[in-house]
Structure 1
Amino acid sequence: MLALILESPERLWWSFVLLVPLLIHLLRRRHYHQHGWAAMEFVVRAMQEKSQKARLQRLVLMIVRVFILALFLLAVSSPQSGVSKFDVDNISSGTHYVFILDASYSMGTIDQVSGDSAFEIAKQEAFELLHRLPPGDVVSVLTIGDFERWVIESPANDFQEVVVAIDEIELQVGGGNVKTVLESTADLILESRQAHPDLLHSHVMVFTDLEQNVWTGLVGEESEDGSPLKRLKELGQVSVVGCQVDPRSNLALKSLTCSYPQGAFAKDVVVMAEVECYYQEEAASPGISWYVDNQFIRRDELEIQQGQLSTISLPLNNLDSGSHQVEARLDDDSLAIDNSRWIVFDSPAK
């Protein structure tokens, strides 16, 4: 049900001004004394028809004036729209929400249907939940990534501020460890309860794609004493919001190395790329492109299946002596952050 919230309801006392158009309408009515005059009867009939039209016009004018004044009063009362529910959930129960957004690199994976990344989906899920929270609840925000970062540590009740803060979170270039993040979350909840005794409940919500690189350190420890997940369940509720996507394909360059097959002072150099396939369409023919000193050299097609590792070599002969840079680039796929690597090495004299 649509509700209208007025930030300045005291200004509605000005509603008496809505009587002004009515008073003007009544005062401008003219009263006539009627005198019989046979010669003017036809004129009277014509004036009666004109008078009915004039009264209708004055009535419409009065209604328009009242409507304009009512809109003005509503505007100065600072109205806000919102969703009202006849439900106890719409009344704050003193809940401290902790939003944990997975910002590790895998969250950049793009869905082949919607074109949205898992990270964008996670943010949207958080925004929708914020929209449903009743006034009085508070929110903290933390990220999972190379380094944990409190986006909002002190519990905030300004949901618009929380929305802006979440929107400004950027994807990180590495993985993460959810275990250390949950430990920090448990500590924050305890500190917040000491500082704010009215925060009787806590609800931790993790927005993640559930990739193993984040959850590895927590698997199998849920029931152990001292486990951060067990601590959080004792303090309140823990929920995981799955933000998985359906990628078109995802290959990753795991490493890029070089070797000197004929010895450190030989002229031949071999660069080797290790590629892992996470997802792969059956009809796809992925490839890897090689660049030496920013010049394209060649593209090799990969014969690799989902779940496999493959090594591709680039032999280089007769390079000029000195430092050289080699870049390997995989074809575009659903996760761009792990598609390229660089290596710099020295070539011996010829």
Structure 2
Amino acid sequence: MLVTLNVSKLLSPLPLAAWTFGSSGMLLWGFAALLPIVIHLWSRRKYQRVSWAAMDYLLSAVQKHARRIRLEQWLLLSLRVLILLLLALALADPMISWFARPGGASQGEPRRHFVLVIDGSFSMGAEQDGVTRFEVAKGVAEKWIRSARQGDGFTLVMMTNPPQIVIRAPAFDVEDVVRELKDLQLPHGMASLEAMVTELEQLVEQVRRDQPRLEETVIGVFTDLGETTWKGVADRRLAERLEQLAKNSQFQVVDVGRPEIVNVAITRCQLKPDWITVRQEVPWEAEIRNYSKRAITGQRIDFWVDGQRVHQQSVDLEPGSQVTVGHR
């Protein structure tokens, strides 16, 4: 009689764990666990035995309990070594994530490293229906996270100037990644595309060295493609670096900008004369620019002095156009 055993079915319910370290270099402090052993061996060589007749009775009593004393000494030494090892482990910031063993449709598929980049530039604060572009970007990124396969790892980057690495070592717990994503706050500052590309190059290379089992890299940049941030793609060297990233990974730019949102800004406001005197009328001049992709008719411009509106006028703005308004 031939008996066959399907090992894959027996192993499939067992959980797998991914154990990574936030600061793997701190594991070198584990060598400090050798100090108690060295001190113990050194102290044994330090003392010399000298026969003394008056101590014979005490030695005989000690010999009765020698095994217990030796056991206590070994336990104390082991405890000292264990404390130092645990200290080194804690300094290394261990992170362990449990997930089910992949099976079925996902069996044999490569594990992926997702790099999620959230644009943190000022324009991401633009609202429509009470929802900012920044919140839209986080919502789309969350869908990416929840649609990933078991065993995929995630790192999280905020595109600011300089970029902020929120999750550097790949995390494998979906809920932990979503929690970090939801906790992100818009910093209301500038973003640097070149600095982000540099950070991505270093991050992807580091993860490929530390986590070789993550065979594929998927980079998702969630942005409104603001002109101030993305004008750097006109630079040939930066464009080549972006192309290289796209060759070595799946590089996707997700546009969360909404062209119907009005984006009008005051780009310059100043006094026309170089100097002023008392009781003199002072003319003001301001430049208004339309960053929207549609024409704006009847845009109202208000001039305020000391909390009081002193002048009001309306202007028409074509897409990308700029007008100069003034008041005396």
Give deviations 1:91-119, integer Å, cap 9, x for gaps: 762321100111212223334xx653322
Matched, 1:297 2:315: no
Give deviations 1:142-196, integer Å, cap 9, x for gaps: 1223431112222111221221222222224344222220211110111122222
Aligned with 1:87 (options 96, 100, 105): 105
* Larger-Rg structure: 1
- Paired residues of 1:100 and 1:205 also in contact (CA < 8 A): yes
Aligned with 1:173 (options 188, 194, 206): 188
Q: In the alignment, which residue of structure 2 is the partner of 1:250?
A: 263
Amino acid at match of 2:243: K
* Change beyond 3 A, Cα 1:86–1:103: same
Structure 1 residue 126: Cα displacement: 0.5
Identify unmatched segments of 5+ residues in structure 1: 1-5, 9-81, 316-350
- What TM-score does the superposition give when structure 2 sets the normalisation length? 0.61
Give deviations 1:201-236, integer Å, cap 9, x for gaps: 211111112232222212353797xx4323423432
Aligned with 1:221 (options 213, 218, 236): 236
CA distance in 1, matches of 2:212, 2:293: 52
CA distance in 2, matches of 1:299, 1:91: 67
Q: In the alignment, which residue of structure 1 is the partner of 2:205?
A: 190
* Change beyond 3 A, Cα 1:313–1:165: same
- Paired residues of 2:300 and 2:314 also in contact (CA < 8 A): yes
- Paired residues of 1:108 and 1:117 also in contact (CA < 8 A): yes
* Change beyond 3 A, Cα 1:290–1:198: same
CA distance in 1, matches of 2:293, 2:309: 25
Q: In the alignment, which residue of structure 1 is the partner of 2:281?
A: 268
- What TM-score does the superposition give when structure 1 sets the normalisation length? 0.58
Give the aligned length: 231
Identify unmatched segments of 5+ residues in structure 2: 1-12, 16-99
Q: In the alignment, which residue of structure 2 is the partner of 1:124?
A: 139
Alignment RMSD (CA, Å): 3.1
SS at match of 2:298: coil
Structure 1 residue 135: Cα displacement: 2.3
Aligned with 1:106 (options 123, 132, 138): 123
CA distance in 2, matches of 1:168, 1:256: 36
* Change beyond 3 A, Cα 1:292–1:121: same
Aligned with 1:287 (options 280, 290, 300): 300
Q: In the alignment, which residue of structure 2 is the partner of 1:22?
A: none
Q: Which has the higher helix share?
A: 2
* Change beyond 3 A, Cα 1:91–1:219: farther
* Change beyond 3 A, Cα 1:248–1:178: closer
CA distance in 1, matches of 2:201, 2:319: 38
CA distance in 2, matches of 1:216, 1:284: 27
